[in-house]
Chain A
Amino acid sequence: QKEVEQNSGPLSVPEGAIASLNCTYSDRGSQSFFWYRQYSGKSPELIMSIYSNGDKEDGRFTAQLNKASQYVSLLIRDSQPSDSATYLCAVGTGRRALTFGSGTRLQVQP
């Protein structure tokens, strides 16, 4: 079992819709959770971090964490074509390194 699992996609949504990206992790001791966005040919950039159960909102982005279910998600409201990218989920387990999922490719159709 992979430590961090994501559906590879592509996830295709129409412009203006809500995109929902999901991630599960295997280590119950995980303490920190991150969503990175990566455009084709570019390096990953941080979108959101979340440490406690519940929701965290930042503009059009909402991260949701459920430690009991070992599940973290990212919602993108009012999706734009510029949101088309690969979204990487990363989990911190306390060993001073993050474990990344393989990413979900999002396509926002104009």
Chain B
Amino acid sequence: NAGVTQTPKFQVLKTGQSMTLQCAQDMNHNSMYWYRQDPGMGLRLIYYSASEGTTDKGEVPNGYNVSRLNKREFSLRLESAAPSQTSVYFCASSDWGQGKETQYFGPGTRLLVL
């Protein structure tokens, strides 16, 4: 099992460009998440999908859109990148219910917006 995979690993964008970050999991989890991590800020939730067909905003959703393509895949789109979106982006997946909601993280995507 690969667990949670993310592509690309690293990306440089110019202000105003768009891009999609891809995430896939092979653990048959119902829930998937996108976080960003900035120095000293910990992990901040951007969007999550509690189950296939649903998405909800997290703490910092502005400037992002998401698509839960199927149970395995959850993508994050930046329509018009801004320097403030320079960050490390982590995708995670989990089940839910006590004892099951451990989140497993992908390796991350490092994004630099110039």
Contact = CB atoms under 8 A, between A and B. Distances in A.
Contacts, number: 51
Interface of A: 8, 31-32, 34, 42-46, 49, 51, 88, 90, 92, 96-103
Given A92-B101, A96-B96, A43 B107 contact: yes
A51 B98 contact: yes
Size band of the interface chain B makes with A: 20 to 34
Contact of A88 (B31, B42, B102): B42
A90 B107 CA distance: 19
B5 to A, nearest CB: 11
B74 interface: no
Given A31-B98, A44-B105, A96 B31 contact: yes
